[in-house]
Structure 1
Amino acid sequence: MFTSPFPDEIIPALSIYDFLFSDLTAADLNRIALVDGPSGAETSYAQLVGQIDAVAGALADRGVKVGDVVGMLCPNVPVFASVFHGILRAGATATTINALSTPEEIVSQLSDSKARFLFTISPMLPQAEIAANEVGIDAEHLIVIDGAEGHPSLRDLLAQQSTPPEVSFDPATHIAVLPYSSGTTGKPKGVMLSHTNLVANVQQCRPVLDVEQDDRVLALLPFFHIYGMTVLLNIALKKRARLVTMPKFDLVEFLRITQDHGCTYLFIAPPIAVALAKHPIIEQYDLSKVRVVFSGAAPLDTALAETVARRLDTRVAQGYGMTEMSPVSHVIPPDRMDIARGSIGVPVANIECKLIDVETGEEVLAGTGMSEPGELWVRGPNIMLGYLGRDDATRESLEADGFLRTGDIATVDADGSFFIVDRLKELIKYKGYQVAPAELEALLLTHPLIADAAVVGAPDDDGQEVPKAFVVTVAGAELDEDAVMAFVAKRVAPHKKVRQVAFIETVPKSSSGKILRKDLRAR
């Protein structure tokens, strides 16, 4: 059993609204909470709380009750915070939908979650209307935040000036949010996270994520994903920092907003780290105020992290989490510069974890060096209640004693730092040997002519699984399959060689930065 080096935090029995906002001071209320990155429009903490309360009151007036589900199809704009926390303030459950979802995917989530209302923005109204019609959400229950004919708008809700309802529920068992797992290994499932889960994870991260009141946090990673929801939105609001929102990723706009708004804390996923490390345009922008680049959502290679740290002259760290953990379980603390940047760090407060050998089922023990690999199991107050309507999947993931089987393979060194080797279900079995795609991907990214890469298991002529690399080359580069395979072969054990190569324009990834391997396998 491995435990956190930090003392346990007290987890208050509060709703996420009360936890975040009940102790706002007069000085806090005058601070800027959110800035729209593209336009510069600002929202103070006083305005934010006023909007949250008004949204909660308007929803209650429209019949929303404790336990009802309300959908959100919305990118990162400042009013996301007002609507999202307004839903929770009303005692309802927010199911946040990937802004890139197709109508069919929206239908699936709305239907599975039994959502009664849906919030969206006008550019996303076409797909939202198709989905709403399919599941029986009428025009009055489809709220277009920025306004559209025939639908209520956020302005309409705020104009009611309704008093927020008095609601009562057990924060430990009441579902606050219902995000859906990324589906990188199958059909997305609704992850039931309680108010206590969300409160706990903010508390657990306080000693290790050093977002401060004067920080300007770039909010590019989507709020609809649990990483953005907890690590950006909720932690920044609790710390009374300033969130600078970006609705979608564009490298030039990312750099401009970071420069012009003086962003100090960048939360990113590894694909953005690749751009920060390799793209020549970085030199054209002043990123000197960036004091931390923090990566999550997928493994960050040590060499890549160190390249970013040197190029930006800043601290680069990463953490680890899952939707099912609200999401953070491991982080590299700010005072632990001795931990390799490729590590996911140490368990956060209130966390217990263990490694289980995938062949024998026995616990992996720590030693004087790096441990043997094993599946990471985690227990703590941030672990989900279960999967909505999927008792079978819940039983497969949650042990009776509260441990979550993460499906990720990890090792731990003698100092208690953890390293993710790869995802259990993504391991390639080549002639009985286990090959970790992430290891080969990190190696491929060291090639000067490769901009991005992904590796999956693919059948050879004999129907046996072999490592296949999907490669994105640097613009104008001349590179062939043999050269890629030779590059890898010189640097790995024989069973880890790349046996097939395909050149593609982009590596498909989820909004949180995870490689969508099932999409590559489908090719």
Structure 2
Amino acid sequence: MPPPPADVDPRSGYCAATKTFHSLRPPLLLPPPDLPLSFPSFTFSLLPATLPSRPALVDAATGEVVPFPAFLSQVRALAAALRARLGVSRGDVAFVLAPPGLHIPVLYYALMAVGAIVSPANPALTADEISGLVALSGPSVAFAVKATTGKLPPGLNTVLLDSARFLSFLHKPHDEDGTADGTDVVIHQSDPAAILYSSGTTGRAKAVVLTHRNLMASNATRGPATAEVLMLALPIFHIYGFTFCFRVAPSANTLVLHTARRFDAREVLAAVGRFGATRLALAPPTLLAIVRAAEEDETLIARAATLQAVNCGGAPMATELFRRFFHKFPDVCLQQGYGLTETTAGFCRAAGEEESGEIGSVGRLLWGAEVKIVHPETGLALPPGMPGELWVRGPFVMKGYAGDKDSTSKILDSEGWLRTGDLCYIDKDGFVFVVDRLKELIKYKGYQVPPAELESLLQTHPNIDEAAVVPYPDDEAGELPVAFIVRSSGSNLYEAQIKEFVAKQVVHYKQIHHVFFVNTIPKNAAGKILRKDLAKLALQHIRSRL
């Protein structure tokens, strides 16, 4: 990665000559791109020569641990079994349909070590939805559990992770010369390592192809070099949880996996204390649950006294949630990040207390990132402080969409610039702010209304727990902002009060026109609001009133 131009502003990272923002983070070394090297080989090479005695993996529900020597031994043994017993080879796609568990990181590493392509999916999907994903990626083998195997298409070779057969793969001896465990396989950094699926909330799902080098670049931006105890309470099939799995290496971190079927904030905080977790990875809905639990029972805060930092990403977070969190956890650093499946997770992140204190920002650009803020209509690149579509380039940007050149060319140009579809701006100090999705902006009489802005405002009301704003079609205005509200427990808040609360604080075209009270706001696994579902619900509600 070449250094940024000499005329880059040292505060914002903006180069006026190229109209490009550059990361000001210290450079991190990646291997030469033409060197044959797999992602597992890269990360394992960074482990200390003497492996630590502490666990590599911990199951938060059962307390079961996998020490570092056993973890590496299992990866090597499984890689050997994948080749010798299952015939998995370089370029094969392996579909993974399973809940979180200690075997999942081992499986991910082992598959990549032999050159196979890991393709995890949400085990809660229906058989029809899974069939569609399988058609996109074309796997030759699947890994599932007894509870999910029935959803897979018939005829797909399937290995059950909760079977004695699979467990035997973890303990079989591997050849000392490496010919069985995959170390003799020539893997290029440009080879596909993973296929993950976009959420499909704004259109049909797409299969995102990530390379070994993408994962190396993403892992190289991960932060502290000292070992931590990390607790992962996220879906491991989503890009955020998927990449977090790999944080076991290179810093020899301990990874505590939340494996319970349901998220219980009290249990998670208790597990933080029980296992001495120093960092917790959450999405905004689970962060909200943590805050609510702490507000209801302050003894939970003391039980999680080892906690030093919380990573939050996967979906936008309301500024009011920041404030509520800091009120209950003043000594914990809350670090928000921003990225896409197509960028191998986050390329922006708040690092340290100072950056985390910039409420509303998703942090600064991480190493290797170049960004342009482009006017959606004129296509001109914009300076600091001006909102536009964020375009990003770097070694973490995907290879493309599997089998879909047309969709790839629409989002990724020949110079490597990826169009995020997000309306953002970067301020004079280099902090990135996400305004909203361009496609989700509400068009009211020619004005653009960002739903996320209104949602953040609504959630500052003391009697509102959650809010979502979506458009409703109108002949005169084009679209009207309407709100779905989850009231706080015991609240009797009514529609007129909410409309008045908003009207006092926004310009006329951002006012809320209808309010619907619901028990929950529908979200996907990453915590993103399912706006299409709410828009349909709004149509039904308003038509029923007519």
Q: Give the TM-score of the pair, scaled to structure 1.
A: 0.91
What residue identity is the alignment partner of 2:145? I
Residues 392-447 of structure 1, C-alpha deviations (whole Å, 9 max, x = no match): 11011002111110011111111111100011111111111111111111111111
1:113-192 pair list within 5 angstroms: 113-122=137-146, 124-125=147-148, 128-133=149-154, 136-137=155-156, 141-147=157-163, 153-162=165-174, 163-192=180-209
**Alpha-carbon distance in structure 2 between the residues aligned to 1:410 and 1:220:** 28
**Alpha-carbon distance in structure 2 between the residues aligned to 1:456 and 1:167:** 54
**Alpha-carbon distance in structure 1 between the residues aligned to 2:248 and 2:309:** 14
1:355-374 pair list within 5 angstroms: 355-366=373-384, 371-374=385-388
Residues 28-84 of structure 1, C-alpha deviations (whole Å, 9 max, x = no match): 253311100011111011111111112211111221111000011122211111111
Match of 1:275 among 285, 289, 294: 289
2:459 — aligned with what?
A: 445
1:392 — aligned with what?
A: 406
> Is the CA contact 1:68–1:115 (under 8 Å) kept in the aligned structure 2?
yes
1:85-484 pair list within 5 angstroms: 85-122=109-146, 124-125=147-148, 128-133=149-154, 136-137=155-156, 141-147=157-163, 153-162=165-174, 163-205=180-222, 209-210=223-224, 212-213=226-227, 215-230=228-243, 232-247=244-259, 248=261, 249-279=263-293, 280-285=295-300, 286-313=303-330, 314-334=332-352, 336-337=354-355, 340-366=358-384, 371-460=385-474, 464-484=478-498
> Is the CA contact 1:318–1:341 (under 8 Å) kept in the aligned structure 2?
no
| 1:169 to partner: Cα distance | 4.1
Change (3 A) 1:522 1:338: closer
**Alpha-carbon distance in structure 2 between the residues aligned to 1:444 and 1:339:** 22
Change (3 A) 1:23 1:357: closer
> Is the CA contact 1:66–1:167 (under 8 Å) kept in the aligned structure 2?
no
**Alpha-carbon distance in structure 1 between the residues aligned to 2:76 and 2:306:** 35
SS at match of 2:51: helix
> Is the CA contact 2:265–2:290 (under 8 Å) kept in the aligned structure 1?
no
Change (3 A) 1:26 1:400: closer
Change (3 A) 1:212 1:454: farther
> Is the CA contact 1:132–1:142 (under 8 Å) kept in the aligned structure 2?
no
Residues 363-418 of structure 1, C-alpha deviations (whole Å, 9 max, x = no match): 1112xxxx121000000000000011111110110021111100111111111111
**Alpha-carbon distance in structure 2 between the residues aligned to 1:441 and 1:335:** 26
SS at match of 1:396: helix
- Whether 1:5 and 2:29 are equivalent positions in the alignment is no
Residues 109-149 of structure 1, C-alpha deviations (whole Å, 9 max, x = no match): 11211111111223x33xx323231xx21xxx2111112xx
Change (3 A) 1:165 1:264: closer
Residues 466-510 of structure 1, C-alpha deviations (whole Å, 9 max, x = no match): 112111122232122222222211221111111122222211112
Residues 218-274 of structure 1, C-alpha deviations (whole Å, 9 max, x = no match): 1111221111122x2223432111111112422222222122222211111122232
Match of 2:97 among 48, 70, 73: 73
**Alpha-carbon distance in structure 2 between the residues aligned to 1:308 and 1:184:** 28
Change (3 A) 1:310 1:475: closer
1:493 — aligned with what?
A: 507
**Alpha-carbon distance in structure 2 between the residues aligned to 1:22 and 1:233:** 17
> Is the CA contact 1:489–1:497 (under 8 Å) kept in the aligned structure 2?
yes
SS at match of 1:336: helix
Unaligned stretches of 5+ residues in structure 1: none
1:35 — aligned with what?
A: 58
| 1:337 to partner: Cα distance | 4.0
**C-alpha RMSD of the superposition:** 1.9
SS at match of 1:354: strand
SS at match of 1:355: strand
**Alpha-carbon distance in structure 1 between the residues aligned to 2:234 and 2:405:** 30
Q: Give the TM-score of the pair, scaled to structure 2.
A: 0.88
**Alpha-carbon distance in structure 1 between the residues aligned to 2:46 and 2:224:** 20
Change (3 A) 1:159 1:43: closer
| 1:11 to partner: Cα distance | 1.5
1:510 — aligned with what?
A: 524
**Alpha-carbon distance in structure 1 between the residues aligned to 2:59 and 2:290:** 23
| 1:168 to partner: Cα distance | 3.5
SS at match of 2:135: helix
What residue identity is the alignment partner of 1:251? A
> Is the CA contact 1:273–1:305 (under 8 Å) kept in the aligned structure 2?
no
What residue identity is the alignment partner of 2:113? R
SS at match of 1:502: strand
SS at match of 2:70: helix
> Is the CA contact 1:210–1:334 (under 8 Å) kept in the aligned structure 2?
no
**Alpha-carbon distance in structure 2 between the residues aligned to 1:121 and 1:131:** 11
Unaligned stretches of 5+ residues in structure 2: 1-19, 175-179, 538-546
**Alpha-carbon distance in structure 1 between the residues aligned to 2:54 and 2:278:** 17
What residue identity is the alignment partner of 1:155? L
SS at match of 1:107: helix
> Is the CA contact 1:217–1:266 (under 8 Å) kept in the aligned structure 2?
yes
